[in-house]
Amino acid sequence: MDPVAEPGGVRNPGHFPLRLLSCQRIPGSRSADLPADQTEWLATHPNPGTRIQNIEKRLDTLHKDLTKSVINRDQYLAHVRNMTYGEDPRQGFFENGTFYHPDLRFQLAFPADWKTQNTAEAVMAGSPQQDAIIQLTLAGKTPPQQAAQQFLSQQGIKAGNTSTASVNGLPAASGTFQAETEQGTIQGLVTFLSYNGNTYSLLGYTPAAKFGAYDNVFRQTINSFSQLRNQAALSVQPARVELVKLTKEMTLEQFNSQYPSSIPITELAIINELESPATAIPAGRTIKRVVGGRTAKG
């Protein structure tokens, strides 16, 4: 979840959810475990498989002879030095079902066994039965009561019970609602809360007939939003790329023994364009290594 993912870093609190509610399927996977074969309607980028297919199609249209192109490998590598490798945990990460956002300094506990996803636009979780969604987004700086009123007064939304009860001491406004979609009537719970100068939208919804079964789950998740105080989570840093120029010939296995990386050696071979860890590397060649980053714990 990136607070500056798009201009202003937020969406109109009264407009975005309706577009969201028109989709009943859970988005394709990015960093977590949501089903990869489902729609990518919320993804900031297409999933890796789609991107590879798109790249291959574009390459097929090229007619330029690349055999005489200048590579300038060392010049390229200079731009790679200290680059973030993989996903940046400062923009949020999951651990044992809880989402932590070090930069925004909050945490949110999702139900066990739900499939989770963190994108630049939203944090989401889908039920194991794929019939309910909980999602968190930034909603600008609109006060919670005003944001809730805007959401519940949208065309196509039928408001239910409302409340201004706080969430862990944070100013908040909540309401139940129903909405008509192409797949039928859905029912949900929305809460807007204010924290550290931002307003957050927390939304849970499911087919209307199943709302009773998920109501408490939605409320427990929303009420778990709280300040992040865990120092280990607050201080987490992304993995970064370092460069080492070999002074003598060695295999990648020997290199990794002298200059350990925080990624598997098979992955290290791939990013260095080597066939295997046993491949000999000539002296003078610059090799990438990856250091730091957090160790995944679920």
**Tens-place pLDDT, residues 24-34:** 343 333 334 44
The predicted pLDDT at position 233 comes to: 94
Residue with tokens 């080597």: 274
In whole angstroms, how far apart are CA 55 and each of 52, 59, 173, 296?
5, 6, 45, 30
The predicted pLDDT at position 296 comes to: 58
pLDDT band at 6 (very low <50, low <70, confident <90, very high): very low
The pLDDT mean for the chain works out to: 84
The predicted pLDDT at position 57 comes to: 76
Range name among 46-50, 115-119, 268-272 with the lowest pLDDT average: 46-50
Segment 62-111, tens digit of pLDDT:
666 666 665 777 788 888 889 999 889 999 999 999 999 999 999 999 99
pLDDT band at 238 (very low <50, low <70, confident <90, very high): very high
Burial class (CB in 10 A: 0-12, 13-18, 19+), 137: buried
Phi, psi of 159 (to 5 degrees): -75, 145
User: Alpha-carbon distance 14 to 199, whole Å?
Assistant: 13
User: Alpha-carbon distance 51 to 41, whole Å?
Assistant: 15
The predicted pLDDT at position 3 comes to: 66
Q: Which amino acid is at 236?
A: V
The predicted pLDDT at position 68 comes to: 64
Q: Which of 151, 149, 150, 152 is nearest to 160 (CA)?
A: 152
